[in-house]
Structures are given as C-alpha cells and as structure tokens.
Amino acid sequence: MIFRLVTITLLLIGCTEHPASTTCGQTGSLYRQALYPIGVALDMMELNSSAAYQAIATEQFNSITPENIFKAESIHPVRGFYNWLETDSLMSYCERTQKRVHGHTLIWHVQLPEWIRSFHGTKADWELLMKEHIQTIMTRYKGRIAGWDVVNEAFNEDGTLRNSIWRQHLGDSYIEKAYRFAREADPNALLFYNDYNLEVSPTKRAAVIKYFNNVRLRGVKIDGIGLQMHISIVHPGSSEIASALMDVSANEYKVHISELDISVNPLGKNITATTELLGEQANLMGAILLHYRQLPTKHQYGITFWGVSDRNSWIRSTYNRIDYPLLFDDNYQPKPMYCKAIELL
C-alpha cells in the first residue's frame, strides 16, 4: 500500500515524525473514492527526485496540473525556441500512469520571459506573438491535454480588467482573442478561465461571469471557470464558498477548484500544527467537499490541490511564514484534512 512505501522511503532519507501526521484507520486513494477527478499541482524536480512525492502523486491523484513548466518563462524562454524537455517528461509520466493533464497556463501577466516583457511591435505583432505562443503549445499536445487555463488572473478585485502587458498592447479584446486562438488549436480541449478570490469577492466573481457570458454570446466557447481557492481556516466561511460554486455552475460553466490549499496561519504567527488547528482545517475541507457534491455532475470538473505536501507549498516561500496548508505533512504523512477527504469523497 502507498503509506507503507512512503514510510520505508522516509526511514531511508532520515526524516523525523512531524506532529501533523495522523492515521485514518485505513489506507486509501482519494481519486479511487471520488466521483470526479482529484488533482494535484506537480513540480518536476520533486517528482523526479523524491520517491515519497512520486508515490503519493501516483496513488492519490488522477488529474495533474503542472505547477510552473507550462508558464511562458519556462516553456518559451527565448523567441522562436520552446523548451519541451520538462513538459514532454510530465506528459510521459501522466500517460504512463493514466492521469488527466490540465494545462496551466497560456496567457498570464506574471512569469513572462524577458523577451516578451521587452517586446516592441505593433498591435498586429503582439497579436501574432500571442497566437503563435498559444497555438504552438496547444498543437504539440492536441488531444493529450484535457483542459487549459487559457487566461489567468485578468481581473482586479473591483471587477475591472487588470492593466496587464497583454491588455496594454492588445486592448480589452485580448482575452476573447486568446480563447479564439485556443479553440482553433484544439477544438476538443476544454477551455477555462482561472483566478483567485472568486470565492470571497462577489463583485469580482460577477464581473468574470458577466464578461465570459458576453464572450459566449459572440460565439466563443468557454467551458469552465477555475476558482483557485487559496483560503484559510479564518476566511472565507463555508456559506461564501457554497455561493461561489453555485454562482459559477448556475451560469453553465464547469467548476474547477483549481489551486486548493487551506492555510492555518494566515497572519504569520509563530505556531505549531496543533490538533485544534488541523481539526479546523479538516472541517473546512469537509464542508468544501459537501458543497462541491451539490453541483450538477456535468459541472464537476474536479478539485486540484496546489501541492503534494506542506513542505512543497508555495505559501512558505512566497510569504516567508510557517504554514501547513496541504493534505500531507512535511514527512509525507496524511493529515486530518486528508482523512476527512477520504471519509467524505
């Protein structure tokens, strides 16, 4: 079983037990118990170097989102050159282990290579740049990647469009054009918009839904919306999350909880992972699963966790704080949040 393999691996590398670890009274597999895909964001360096990391990724999840390797600075670092090494390696792993792949992300204002940030050209030149970038990547993996975050984080918190480098050079229509280019490249792929705080900001959420409803009226097919859900045990509340999921579903979009983690230390205090904190985290996890279950099956694209274990979480490095936001602890042992998921899926 998976946890026996993990335990052996940890003994070999000399890890010590972490207070966050627990036991569920059974070993299991999240995706084998779920009626919809259960995903995780993967880092290729960790996947290739850690047996424990790879074992959990393989046994627990059946949908994979590449954390960074499809972002422009990684896959398209120089004009005219695409770095397929890591993306091809990920595809090989996913096809070998029968995992769905969710592409992330094609158009974003962050993690751009210098050549795009300093690109000089006309509006037509910028449009060609965007089209070539989207279609080169999607064409290579046509029929092999189930869905794509075509545009990522294009809205401000007040519902206005972010004045990103793409908008500066292409105008407000750049979003619609990106989806048209993506649909041309792979007519069968599911196309998503992905953003944060959609679960806590009704204003932002309403603006996103209105924008894409209008795009649909112009004949552009948008299949789903990803709610990142980088949340905490403090905020948002369960009812806010339920409202957000229902709002998106009610407008006939597939709902992807696309980057889920649940912080237990949003204020950055000097804490330890106490039973009480991890219990609150598990209870919120349970509420999310129950709310997601209420959505029509046709709108349940899946739930994706943003990392395998606490030691892999972006929160620690980005915010320089102690936190324990994921299903497995620093020693790759299951936490109460994992046990709650096993119980309710």
Q: Is the CB of residue 73 less than 8 Å from the CB of residue 111?
A: yes
Sign of the alpha-carbon dihedral angle for 247, 205, 289, 27: positive
Cis-peptide, bond into residue 236, ω within 30° of zero: yes
Q: Is the CB of residue 53 less than 8 Å from the CB of residue 308?
A: yes
Please name which of 47, 136, 135, 150 lies closest in space to residue 94, comparing C-alpha atoms.
47
Task: Round to the nearest angstrom and report the end-to-end CA distance of the chain.
Answer: 19
Q: Is the CB of residue 229 less than 8 Å from the CB of residue 199?
A: yes
Q: List the catalytic residues.
A: 153, 259
Q: Which residue has the tokens 């792993």?
A: 93
Q: Which residue has the tokens 């966790």?
A: 305
Task: State which amino acid sits at residue 26.
Answer: Q
Please return the burial class of 2, using the count of CB atoms within 10 Å of its CB with bins 0-12, 13-18 and 19+.
middle
Give the phi and the psi of residue 99 in degrees, each rounded to 5.
Answer: -105, 140
Helix locations, 141-274, DSSP H: 165-170, 174-185, 202-217, 238-250
Q: Is the CB of residue 162 less than 8 Å from the CB of residue 153?
A: yes
Cis-peptide, bond into residue 105, ω within 30° of zero: yes
